């Protein structure tokens, strides 16, 4: 039986205060702001987050050719991360070498335009056409803060140790730098062709949105046709101008990306699958841990932080897995090692999206197998093929931990009633890092206990559940009663033995029009679930109608 929600003040048995929740250091979700931002930095993050999702219009400078009208259309999983939108690169060959056909609008094809007459098309002369999925590094500010020298220390361009890995730095000049400035180690983009977040923002604003800015003040001419550009472009350049506070769009979306947090990893360390990962050589390119620079010029939330992105940010010859495009000093078969943090949400995988759909395990398997038979990933692909099924499962389980939120047993990205019930089922149990219960072993002491429950409360509160609710006014909050064994068969974090009145959603003692309105407002969300199927749908509507009238 399901029950009405009654919110009451907490008595004496268990008082949960805001400071106690704040003291639990949960890992931020992917897409959340960095921990430790100042008030002004967080405000900049939030303003940039708004701009990131706000479409540009024709009157303000969109286009005339572009791929989307806002950043979030492509970088959507999570906001600021990767996505399923593909772009097209094209070019030709000159004496066996790639050239970008800039005179015909290359190498990036913009597939949209402000009018049909301004539209760009794939030139028939193009002999190289490559698909690139939306790329992202997440936690851009942390990645940018890795010292150039640290990245260069992993370089072995001539494979001097004979391990078949010959990664090299892609040295580039940031857009914001003067021509006489020193080159920086690239780290963003499929070819490591970008070194700073500001360059990343300026480049994408102009090339993907068609919005000129201080870093790139000239328009893309559709297929290189300057006369067509003159008739299509009606907004003065640069189109991205400072607002009343003196910041440009590029500045604001740079703030948002720089202040993105490192995605979570749960369990945080120690899974057998990572040992397998290292044993077959994946860690030679997917380097787990880095430390950001300890520079006074960096924000405290970014300075001197240990991070685990699983990339060396170097260029590697990937053989048939290359995209055939030259970008700056990066050659046709060379690709940057992508970061693996937040991998569990990535669909599709690989630069061309060829590992897509199906299960996480099937996507990962396809992506690893694509590293062979040629190129620097071939040995690892072969070693993966030779693993036992148990070892493959261990490796995939480890990769599935990259991006998992703490206590998210059901894998839906939130801590909820299902997860509380699962945690309770492991109460007092010893769990190893490879055991499913390890997702709830917050303190990593090998046992699911009281400190893990307290952290679970913080996770539930973060995800919108009222963990101070005490439906029967007995002084013990509902979540603790469930932890202590009270049944919660519909996983609403309200014990089943609370005041019974199916459908009385507002607690007024009657199932009436007010409850029906609440149900209809929640339709399709699952937030009101009267039959325990995880959805707010016709079955719940039927339950409301059948219970219509005063509660018994």
- Greatest pairwise CA separation for the chain in angstroms: 86
pLDDT tens digits for 74-90? 999 999 999 999 999 99
Q: Model's pTM, two decimal places?
A: 0.87
C-beta of residue 467 within 8 angstroms of C-beta of residue 16:
yes
Place of tokens 């991205």: 240
Terminal Cα-to-Cα distance of the chain (whole angstroms): 14
Element (H, E) at 140: helix 140-144
Q: At what angle do helices 389-400 and 272-279 cross, to 10 degrees?
A: 110
C-beta of residue 282 within 8 angstroms of C-beta of residue 337:
no
Closest CA to 194 of 137, 152, 153, 277: 137
What is the rounded CA–CA span in Å between residue 256 and residue 143?
14
pLDDT tens digits for 109-159? 999 999 999 999 999 999 999 999 998 889 999 999 999 999 999 999 999
Here the tokens at position 467 are: 């963990």
pLDDT tens digits for 341-383? 999 999 999 999 999 999 999 999 999 999 988 999 999 999 9
C-beta of residue 332 within 8 angstroms of C-beta of residue 326:
yes
**Taking all residues of the chain, what is their mean pLDDT, rounded to a whole number?**
93
What is the rounded CA–CA span in Å between residue 478 and residue 492?
10
C-beta of residue 448 within 8 angstroms of C-beta of residue 441:
yes
C-beta of residue 189 within 8 angstroms of C-beta of residue 336:
yes
Here the tokens at position 58 are: 């024709």
Instruction: State the SS3 of 407-440.
Output: CCCCCCCCCCHHHHHHHHHCCCCECCCCCHHHHH
What is the rounded CA–CA span in Å between residue 182 and residue 174?
9
pLDDT tens digits for 520-532? 988 888 778 887 7
Three-class SS state of 6: coil
What region, left, alpha or beta, does residue 88 occupy, with left being phi > 0 and alpha being psi -120 to 50 degrees? beta
Give the pLDDT of residue 6: 31
Task: Find residue 132's DSSP bridge partners.
Answer: 87
Closest CA to 345 of 299, 399, 269: 399
Give the pLDDT of residue 71: 98
Element (H, E) at 129: strand 128-133
Percent of the chain, pLDDT > 90?
Answer: 84
Write the CA distances from 483 to 224, 405, 500, 533, integer angstroms. 66, 20, 20, 22
């Amino acid at each position: 039986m399901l029950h009405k929600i009654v919110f009451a003040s907490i008595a004496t048995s268990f008082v949960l205060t805001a400071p106690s929740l704040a003291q639990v250091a949960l890992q931020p979700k992917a897409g959340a702001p960095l921990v430790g931002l100042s008030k002004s930095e967080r405000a900049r993050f939030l303003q940039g987050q708004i701009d990131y999702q706000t479409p540009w219009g024709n009157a303000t400078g969109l286009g005339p050719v572009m791929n989307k009208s806002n950043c979030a259309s492509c970088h959507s999983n999570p906001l600021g991360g990767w996505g399923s939108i593909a772009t097209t690169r094209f070019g030709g060959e000159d004496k066996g070498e790639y050239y970008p056909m800039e005179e015909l609008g290359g190498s990036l094809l913009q597939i949209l335009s402000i009018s049909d007459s301004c539209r760009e098309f794939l030139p028939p002369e193009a002999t190289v056409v490559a698909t690139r999925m939306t790329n992202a590094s997440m936690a851009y500010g942390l990645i940018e803060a890795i010292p150039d020298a640290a990245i260069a220390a992993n370089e072995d361009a001539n494979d001097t140790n004979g391990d078949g890995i010959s990664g090299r730095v892609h040295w580039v000049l940031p857009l914001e730098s003067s021509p006489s400035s020193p080159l920086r180690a690239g780290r963003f983009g499929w070819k490591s062709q970008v070194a700073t977040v500001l360059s990343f923002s300026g480049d994408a604003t102009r090339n993907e949105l068609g919005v000129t800015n201080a870093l790139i003040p000239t328009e893309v001419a559709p297929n290189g046709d300057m006369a067509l550009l003159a008739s299509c472009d009606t907004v003065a350049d640069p189109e991205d101008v400072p607002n009343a506070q003196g910041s440009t769009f590029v500045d604001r979306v740079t703030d948002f990306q720089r202040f993105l947090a490192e995605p979570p990893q749960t369990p945080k360390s120690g899974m057998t699958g990572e040992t397998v990962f290292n044993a077959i050589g994946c860690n030679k390119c997917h380097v787990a841990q880095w430390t950001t620079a300890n520079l006074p010029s960096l924000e405290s939330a970014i300075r001197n932080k240990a991070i685990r992105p699983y990339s060396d940010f170097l260029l590697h010859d990937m053989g048939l897995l290359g995209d055939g495009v030259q970008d700056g000093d990066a050659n046709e078969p060379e690709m940057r090692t992508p970061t693996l943090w937040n991998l569990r949400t990535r669909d599709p995988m690989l630069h061309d999206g060829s590992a897509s759909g199906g299960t996480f395990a099937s996507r990962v398997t396809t992506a690893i197998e694509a590293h062979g038979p040629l190129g620097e990933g071939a040995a690892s692909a072969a070693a993966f093929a030779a693993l036992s099924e148990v070892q493959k499962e261990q490796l995939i389980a480890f990769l599935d931990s990259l991006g998992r939120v703490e206590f998210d047993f059901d894998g839906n990205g939130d801590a909820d009633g299902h997860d509380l019930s699962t945690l309770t089922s492991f109460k007092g149990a010893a769990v190893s890092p490879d055991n499913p219960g390890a997702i709830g072993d917050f303190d990593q002491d090998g046992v699911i206990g009281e400190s893990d429950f307290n952290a679970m409360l913080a996770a539930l509160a973060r995800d919108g559940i009222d963990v101070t609710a005490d439906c029967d006014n007995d002084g013990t909050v509902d979540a603790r009663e469930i932890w202590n064994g009270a049944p919660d068969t519909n996983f609403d974090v309200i014990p089943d033995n609370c005041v019974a009145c199916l459908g009385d959603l507002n607690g007024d003692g009657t199932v009436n029009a007010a409850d029906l309105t609440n149900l209809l407002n929640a339709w399709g969300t699952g937030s009101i679930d009267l039959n325990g199927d995880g959805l707010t749908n016709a079955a719940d509507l039927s339950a409301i109608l059948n219970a219509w009238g005063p509660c018994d």
